[in-house]
Structures are given as C-alpha cells and as structure tokens.
C-alpha cells in the first residue's frame, strides 16, 4: 500500500481555493466605517479553478472586492480573471513565453483611470470597478514585454514605472507610462541571464533593479511541474542603479551579499545622495527548488548605497520572519517612517501569519497586533486625506476566522494597530490567503468636481 501524499500547503486550510463566485449587497458592519472612505478595496490571489495547482503561485487569478460609500459596505464580489488559461487555452511548457498566456493572479494597480490585474509573466489585464474582465492592456500595442506585479506610481509626476522580465532575451526591460497612461519610455537593462525578478525600487532620482541568484531552470520548465527557478550558488547578487531618464549606459551595478527579495517596502535618497532601500530579504530561497510544504523566511533589511560606493551596506532591522511590507504609498520614492508587514512563526507554510507589525523606523519601535483565532492577509494603508500625515489613516485587509470559516474586511486605525478595529465588514464567504490588494478611491462626481 502506497503512503498517502500530503496535499501541498497551498491547498489546505485557508490557502485552499473557494469554488464559487459570489455577490452580496448591504454587508453588515461592526463599528463604523469612516465617512471619508469612498471607493473599492480589491485584492488578488491564486485560486485554482480545477483540482490542484503545481505551486502556490500558479492558481487562476481571483479578485475579492468590497465597495464602500457613505459609511456603508455596498457590496462584496469575488470574480475570476477571465484569462486565456481560464477560458481553456492549452497548457504546455513553452506557452509561458506568450505574454498573453496569463494567470493574472498577483496584484492590482489603478493608474490613469484604468484598473489592472497583474502577474509578472504577462501583460496587464484590465478589469472594471465591478471586477469584470475587460481584456489585456498592451498600451496601444507598444508594450512587448510582461509587466511586473509591482509597478511604482511616482507621487510627484503621476508616472507609472514598471519592468518586465523574460526567460528569453531581452531578459529585463524597464518602462515608464505617463500620468495619462501612455507608454513613453522603454529601456533594455543588461543582465547576465534569465532570473526571477519580482519587484524593484524607485526614488526621486533613480530606479533600482535587483539582479539576484534565482535563475531560470529549463528542465523544470519543460516538465511543467512547478515554478521553473532555483537558487544559484555562483550567480552572485547586485543592484542596478539607473538615473531616472537615463539610458542603459548610465546604469551602475552595486554588489550585495547573495540573497533573494520578493518585496521592497520603499526606497529613497538622503540629503548626501545615499540611496536607501528597505526590503524583505531571504538569506537564500529555493536552494533545492520550490517545496510542497515549506516556504523560506525573510526579515526586514535595509541597504544603503553611499555616493560612489560599489557595494551596499546592509543592516537587518528585525529578526522576525515577515512578508508583505507596505508603506503609505504617497511616500513612494521619498523618506518614510512607518512600514507595515505581516509576521509568521516559522515558515509561512507552517505558521501562517500571526501578527500585523508596524515598524517606527525613526525610534526603532515595533508595534504588533496579535491574531489568535484569526488569520490575516496583507493590509493596505489608506491615508485619511491627501493632506494627512504619513501615519494618519487606516489599514485595511481581509481576516479569516477559523471558528466560523468566514472572512471579514477589517479596518484598523493606522496609528493604533493593536486597538479595537474601527470597523469590521462581515463577508458572506471565506476569502483565501492571497497576495496583494489596493484601495481605489472613488473618482469625484462631476457635480462634486465643479463645486471645488
């Protein structure tokens, strides 16, 4: 008799997919939704439509959204992103070379009146405010590479900066879309080989790319069994610093200790020109390839690159295992103080997230909200107003209750994350552990705009 094979962690507990699309109106609320909040909170994640996926990152994209207006939770919807894969496009090892062969399962961005579901190996997929799929956005035919799941919107210019990496040349291309959503710039970035590049950083004057030792593995790709990347002992690790507006000839490389990074909290420049990056750093990742029932751990780490340096200075900010670091995105590219992240006990696959942390980087303080019977997902910082201070606003995220097997959208005071929730919006169904979400404020009505 064969031993029973334990299902992978992404098919168990609250990682497991939900099976139906749901719509519910006039959601019950505990507490009071701040009247300043008017918009849509939407989060993306992997939700296999049929059977198991071969890795946590490879399930069909599903969006979970809550619309808020006038102190009320108007509706909840979950919708699959109708990608070619969802619609039945044949799956084969080389299909991933097609930038329209997508799962669209990682994040959501709103820019230039468009909302887009993102995954790093494909074009953005435009969606409506009620989460219906509209189709790929290739920027009028000008975008010929994938789009990262982590574009950066410059608060000063309104530009969206992003990149695409591929496993065939050109391996890495940097793009800029202007505030109106037109693709205005593309620059090939010279890297040594095809590697997995999940995120990057933006400052007021520079763009920083991470060339890290997570290399493409063709045999694994051809087998189609899991994520086709593995740790390389020999590849090395470096940061590519590109002046904004500069060409590839102005790129300079900064050495760092070998590591891997999925997520950058933020980057900025000090008065003397030193570049600072705060990241969730893995000492190593997937050394023996992706695992079914384990996930490596990361810690909040700071890199500093003084002017003229060829190697970054590295400081571990905290020894706790964390992921999904977020900031007030109005601070993108400029100095920040607060970083919000989720903490785990042990591997993510073992302990799941147990705490929401708030790092006060000026005084070195860490505040924590402990979850005992609940499991949180990533929280998004929503400012109280455009003029509000960096830590004035709310943290918003889905929380799963083990006892009831349902989920809530929880709204916390960003200045007091351990306090009683400002509001708890009761959802009719479970929201699985997913990836990244965003708050999309309602666009002013014509009469409101005229009044101002």
Q: How confident is the model at residue 224 (pLDDT cuts 50, 70, 90)?
A: confident
Identify whether 327 is part of a domain: yes
Q: What share of the chain is helix, strand, coil (3-state, %, to 5)?
A: 10, 40, 50
pLDDT tens-place string over residues 4-43 = 678 888 999 999 999 999 999 999 999 999 999 999 999 9
CA pair distance 124, 255, nearest whole angstrom:
32
CA pair distance 153, 178, nearest whole angstrom:
10
Tell me how many degrees the CA angle 325-102-136 measures, rounded to the nearest 5: 95
Q: What is the pTM of this model?
A: 0.95
> Residues annotated as binding site?
150, 198, 263, 436
pLDDT tens-place string over residues 349-395 = 666 788 999 999 999 999 999 998 899 999 999 999 999 999 999 99
Identify whether 82 is part of a domain: no
Identify whether 74 is part of a domain: no
Identify whether 240 is part of a domain: yes
More confidently predicted of 450 and 416? 416
Q: Rounded mean pLDDT of 69-92?
A: 93
> Residues annotated as binding site for Fe cation?
150, 198, 263, 436
Q: What is the mean pLDDT of the chain?
A: 93
Domain containing 290 equals 151-350
Identify whether 223 is part of a domain: yes
Identify whether 302 is part of a domain: yes
Check residue 340 and give its pLDDT: 98
Check residue 394 and give its pLDDT: 98
Identify whether 71 is part of a domain: no
Identify whether 87 is part of a domain: no
Q: How many domains does the chain have?
A: 1
Task: Check pLDDT > 80 for residue 434.
Answer: yes
Check residue 152 and give its pLDDT: 98
Check residue 288 and give its pLDDT: 83
């Amino acid at each position: 008799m064969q031993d029973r094979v334990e299902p992978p962690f992404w098919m168990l507990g609250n990682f497991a997919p939900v099976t139906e699309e749901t719509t519910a109106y006039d959601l019950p609320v505990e507490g009071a939704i701040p009247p300043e909040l008017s918009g849509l909170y939407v989060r993306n994640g992997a939700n296999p439509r049929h059977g198991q996926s071969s890795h946590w990152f490879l399930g069909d994209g599903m969006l979970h959204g809550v619309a808020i207006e006038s102190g009320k939770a108007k509706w909840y919807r979950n919708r699959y992103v109708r990608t070619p894969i969802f619609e039945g496009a044949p799956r084969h090892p080389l299909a991933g070379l097609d930038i329209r062969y997508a799962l669209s399962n990682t994040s959501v961005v709103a820019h230039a009146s468009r909302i887009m579901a993102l995954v790093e190996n494909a074009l953005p997929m435009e969606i409506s405010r009620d989460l219906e799929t509209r189709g790929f956005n290739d920027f009028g035919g000008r975008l010929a590479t994938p789009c990262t799941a982590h574009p950066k919107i410059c608060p000063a210019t309104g530009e969206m900066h992003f990149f695409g990496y591929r496993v065939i040349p050109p391996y890495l291309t940097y793009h800029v879309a202007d505030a109106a959503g037109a693709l205005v710039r593309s620059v090939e970035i010279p890297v040594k080989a095809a590697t997995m590049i999940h995120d990057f950083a933006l400052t007021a004057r520079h763009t920083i790319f991470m060339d890290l030792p997570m290399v493409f593995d063709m045999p694994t790709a051809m087998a189609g069994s899991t994520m086709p990347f593995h740790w390389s002992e020999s590849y090395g690790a470096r940061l590519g610093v590109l002046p904004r507006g500069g060409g590839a000839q102005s790129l300079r490389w900064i050495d760092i200790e070998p590591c891997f990074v999925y997520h950058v909290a933020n980057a900025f420049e000090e008065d003397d020109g030193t570049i600072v990056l705060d990241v969730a750093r893995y000492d190593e990742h997937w050394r023996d390839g992706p695992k079914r029932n384990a996930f490596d751990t990361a810690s909040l780490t700071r890199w500093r690159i003084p002017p003229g340096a060829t190697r970054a200075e590295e400081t571990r900010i905290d020894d706790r295992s964390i992921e999904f670091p977020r900031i007030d995105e109005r601070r993108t590219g400029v100095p920040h103080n607060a970083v919000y992240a989720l903490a785990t006990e042990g591997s993510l696959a073992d302990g799941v997230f147990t705490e929401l942390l708030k790092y006060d980087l000026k005084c070195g303080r860490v505040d924590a909200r402990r979850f005992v019977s609940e499991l949180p997902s990533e929280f998004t910082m929503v400012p109280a107003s455009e003029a509000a201070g960096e830590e004035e606003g709310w943290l918003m995220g889905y929380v799963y209750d083990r006892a009831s097997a349902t989920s809530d959208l929880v709204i916390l005071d960003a200045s007091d994350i351990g306090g009683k929730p400002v509001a708890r919006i009761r959802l009719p169904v479970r929201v699985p552990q997913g990836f990244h979400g965003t708050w999309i404020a309602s666009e002013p009505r014509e009469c409101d705009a005229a009044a101002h």
